[in-house]
Chains A and B, each alone.
Chain A
Amino acid sequence: MKNVNLEKNSIVVDKISKHYDGFSLENVSFKLPKGCIMGFIGENGAGKSTTIKIILDLVKQESGNVSVLGDNAKNANVREDIGVVFDEGCFPDEINADNLKNSFKYIYKNWDSNVFDDYLKRFSIPNKKNMKDFSRGMKMKLAIAVALSHKAKLLVLDEATSGLDPIVREQILDVFMEFIQNEENSILLSSHIVSDLEKVCDYITFIHEGKILLSKEKDLLMEEYGLLKCSKKELENVPQDAIERVRENQFGVEALVKRNKIGRAFTIDKATLEDIMLFMIRGNKVC
């Protein structure tokens, strides 16, 4: 990996592989530039969590390299600058927000209790209530408050917004947008809720069956692809290299097409991120 890559990017994943019984991560590569939010999407079991665990050094890759903030998450000093939120929440049931504050004071060198208190107020999280009485939304907000209270430069969130109501999700996305105002900061956000990613992400990385299908700027991706709805016969007139994937239904066919290759003869609708994801996974290739 070139040094310039490491300076510009918060995360560089370079051809990592990992094999389990029945599942393999194959040559996964992508870069998360500083100052950006990357949405990491894919269906259940596609390899999102395994990739994130390799990035965080919770799982060892069999081949390939990972750089996090110019170094490696093995290094405790690097972990000082990473804020992580897992799907499970991860704080014991008998503990409350004040207890966490007192504990994290001795764990993170840059821990700021005032910032943590501000987030608690903002998220309406009670200081003395035990975790076991928290809703899933409150647990997630508390985990995000912890992740943001030690001057982290990189946030890694694994399914952190899944299962939350739209109001809580909106609140959390606002916080992410504030965090990213500092151009040194960046976020890797894995989620099933593609509409959330569409709102906030600068980059999209799409993983399917352990392989990266695409990793590029969201705006370019949205510009690149469009939806063509037509009959089977009409589809035959479409240049083959313009058609990425096709799905048939009772009214005809829907195709995910590359706008720059299709010409002006066809009416192309906007493809959402969800459309692109669904076509990539469930659509058929045209031979």
Chain B
Amino acid sequence: MLGFMLKDVYTMKKQMKMTLVISLFYIIFSIADNNIGFLSFVVMFANLGVLLSTFSYDEKSHWDKYARILPISYQKIVFSRYAEILIVNAVVFVILMPIMFFIKKPEQEILEVLTILIAVICVSIILLSIMFPIVYKLGMEKARIMIFVIIFIPVCAAVTIGKLNVGLNMASFLESPIANFIGYHLYIICPLIAAVFFTLSYQISKSIIAKKEY
């Protein structure tokens, strides 16, 4: 498994350097503007820019087929990719946490800042958990359109519903005890939801790879 992850690191070294430069830009921008919101871009770049790109490189070189004749089980091959999600996000968390504490506004609580970071990381993990099985099934080239649909349809639907004003009273919902409970416990709820998506996604990807012919 370590061999596969090392190979991914070597393959992505250029991509990682580029992500690092872009991330630095956003970090500096966040500090200068005293706005932690920009740091969520760093999380997205690290996840989508680096982790998804590994599939493109593998597809282009036919590495997937080669990987299956190596003495590593397909479960471990799939797990190495999912482990990379955890590692990348752990690194992102460790780097961004002190920066967020440094630039947080005085009126913001530490738990609030921590919750924002955890929520953004969890959203990234959920997105990747949805995307990985699609990429395993269709390949990166075909999966691009599906991924586009998966990300943009919910966004467009949410915007449309908001504009139609279909009787959802968001203000009263946000003041309700349930919303308050969710709000205060997001730092636990988000990782739990992400863990469910992550586990399900891993199981689905494994079964896709088990049946896949090359």
Q: Within A72-87, which residues are at the interface with B (CB < 8 Å)?
A: 73, 76-77, 79-80, 82, 84, 86
A107:B61 contact, CB within 8 angstroms: no
A91 and B61 contact, Cβ closer than 8 Å, known pairs A58-B213, A107-B71: yes
Partner-binding segment picked from A93-101, A160-168, A262-270: A93-101
Within the complex, the shortest CB–CB distance from A81 to chain B, in Å, comes to 9
* A-contacting residues, B162-214, CB 8 Å: 213-214
Interface membership of chain B positions 1-22, coded 1 if the CB is closer than 8 angstroms to chain A and 0 otherwise: 1111011001111100000000
- Per the bound structure, the CA–CA distance linking A100 and B60 in Å amounts to 17
* Cβ of B153 to closest chain A Cβ, rounded Å: 32
Given contacts A103-B6, A107-B4, contact A90 B70 (CB under 8 A): no
* Complex contact A92–B69 (CB within 8 A): no
Task: Check A56 for interface membership: any CB of B closer than 8 A.
Answer: yes
Q: Name the residue of chain A whose CB is nearest to the CB of B211.
A: A60
Q: Tell me, yes or no, whether A123 is within 8 Å of chain B by CB.
A: no
Check B73 for interface membership: any CB of A closer than 8 A.
yes
A103 and B71 within 8 A (CB): no
Residues 39-79 of chain B, each 1 if its beta carbon lies under 8 Å from chain A, else 0: 00000000000000000011011110110111111000000
Q: Do A99 and B71 form a contact, CB below 8 Å, given A89-B61, A94-B57?
A: no
Q: Is the CB of B6 within 8 A of A106?
A: yes
Instruction: Flag if B71 contacts A58 (CB, 8 Å).
Output: no
Q: Is the CB of B72 within 8 A of A76?
A: yes
Residues of B near A183 (CB, < 8 A) are none
Q: Is the CB of A84 within 8 A of B71?
A: no
Residues of A within 8 A of B1 (CB): 106
Please report the total number of B residues contacting A with Cβ < 8 Å: 27
Give the CA-CA distance A53 to B63 in the complex, in Å.
15
Q: Is the CB of A84 within 8 A of B66?
A: yes
* A93-B53 Cα distance, complex, nearest whole Å: 13
> Cβ of A100: which chain B residues have Cβ within 8 Å of it?
7
Partner of B61, one of A77, A92, A103: A92
Known pairs A76-B72, A76-B73, A107-B72; A90 contacts B6 (CB<8 A): no
Q: Do residues A86 and B58 form an inter-chain contact, with CB atoms below 8 A?
A: no
Closest Cβ of chain A: how far from B65's Cβ, in Å? 6
**Selected contact of B65 from candidates A58, A105, A106, A109, CB within 8 Å:** A58
Which residues of chain B are within 8 angstroms of A193 by Cβ–Cβ distance?
Answer: none
A102 and B213 contacting across the interface, CB-CB below 8 Å: no
Q: Is the interface of A mostly helix, strand, loop or mixed?
A: loop
Q: Which chain A residue has the least Cβ–Cβ distance from B15?
A: A94
Closest A residue, CB atoms, query B11 = A92
* Known contacts A60-B213, A79-B70, A93-B60; is-contact A99 B7 (Cβ 8 Å): yes
Q: Number of A residues contacting the other chain (C-beta, 8 Å)?
A: 34
Q: Determine how close the nearest CB of chain B comes to the CB of A175; give it in whole angstroms.
A: 20
Residue A30 at the B interface, CB < 8 A?
no
Docked complex Cα distance between A59 and B65 (Å):
10
Residues from chain A with a CB closer than 8 A to the CB of B68 are 56-58
Contacting B at CB under 8 A, from A22-62, are 53, 56-60
Question: What residues of A have a CB within 8 angstroms of the CB of B63 in the complex?
Answer: 90-92
A91, A102, A109, A131: the one contacting B6 at CB < 8 Å is: A102
- Chain B residues within an 8 Å CB radius of A82: 69
Known A106-B2, A109-B71; judge A58-B214 contact (CB<8 A).
Answer: yes
CB closest chain-A residue, reference B7: A103
Question: What residues on A are CB-neighbors of B71 within 8 Å?
Answer: 76-77, 79-80, 107-109
Contacts of A94 in B (CB 8 A): 10-14, 57
Residues of A within 8 A of B72 (CB): 76, 107
A27 to chain B, nearest CB (A): 20
In the complex, how many angstroms separate the beta carbon of A154 from the nearest chain B beta carbon? 11
For residue A88, CB closer than 8 A to chain B, the reply is yes
Closest to B67 in A: A90
Q: Report whether A104 and B61 are in contact in the complex, using a CB–CB cutoff of 8 Å.
A: no
Chain B residues proximal to chain A, CB less than 8 Å = 1-4, 6-7, 10-14, 57-58, 60-63, 65-66, 68-73, 213-214
13 contacts between A and B (CB under 8 A): A58-B69, A76-B73, A79-B70, A89-B62, A90-B61, A91-B61, A92-B7, A92-B57, A94-B12, A95-B10, A99-B6, A106-B3, A107-B71
Q: Which 6 A-B pairs have the closest CB atoms?
A: A106-B3, A107-B3, A90-B66, A99-B10, A80-B71, A103-B7
New A-B contacts (13) at CB < 8 Å, excluding given A90-B65, A94-B10: A57-B68, A73-B69, A76-B72, A77-B71, A92-B11, A92-B57, A95-B7, A103-B6, A103-B10, A104-B3, A105-B3, A106-B3, A107-B71
